[in-house]
Amino acid sequence: VVSVAEKKILIIEDDKDALYAMGIRLKAHGYTVAVAMDAISAIGMANKEKPDLILLDLGLPGGDGYLVMQRVRRNYPSLLMVPIIVVSARDPVANERRALQAGAHTFLQKPVENADLLAAIENALSKSAVHEK
């Protein structure tokens, strides 16, 4: 089992308060955190940081979360297996299926209970870990 401390999570979120809070929470649970606040830098950051998991907001300046997923999946084959968890305030009725079809591992609606967020992260990481073997 890979230790949590070695796992890096890229948080893509344009609300800096939300980003700040999410960073504190994830670091407290031992994850390494990288951040991006708009779609374009998020795509570059994903390639540069090679995160183990991406937390993605849907509404972003410079293009939305769907664009980020599409570009990351298309441009960087090495990131193909990196799970993406969408964390959005948007309506799940209109967005959950679309997000899953675009390649998201999970759709979580804000506000997300901490327990739910951490469980989803652990689950996604364990899946990709199984896969790497």
24 CB contacts (<8 Å, ≥6 apart)? none
Strand order in the sheet with 53-56: 32-36, 8-12, 53-56, 84-88, 106-109
Residue 75 or 101 having the CB closest to other proteins:
101
Q: Looking at the chain, which runs of residues are DSSP E strands?
A: 8-12, 32-36, 53-56, 84-88, 106-109
User: What is the contact surface with other proteins in residues (CB under 8 A)?
Assistant: 15, 17-18, 21-22, 24-25, 28, 89-91, 93, 100, 106, 109-112, 114, 119-120, 123, 126-127, 130-131
Q: Minimum distance from CB of 17 to other proteins (Å)?
A: 4
Q: Minimum distance from CB of 22 to other proteins (Å)?
A: 7
Residue 48 or 110 having the CB closest to other proteins:
110
Residue 3 or 94 having the CB closest to other proteins:
94
Q: Minimum distance from CB of 105 to other proteins (Å)?
A: 8
9 CB contacts (<8 Å, ≥6 apart)? 26, 31, 32, 33, 34, 51, 52, 53, 54, 55, 121
26: tokens are 């994830």
Q: Minimum distance from CB of 28 to other proteins (Å)?
A: 5
Residue 44 or 59 having the CB closest to other proteins:
59
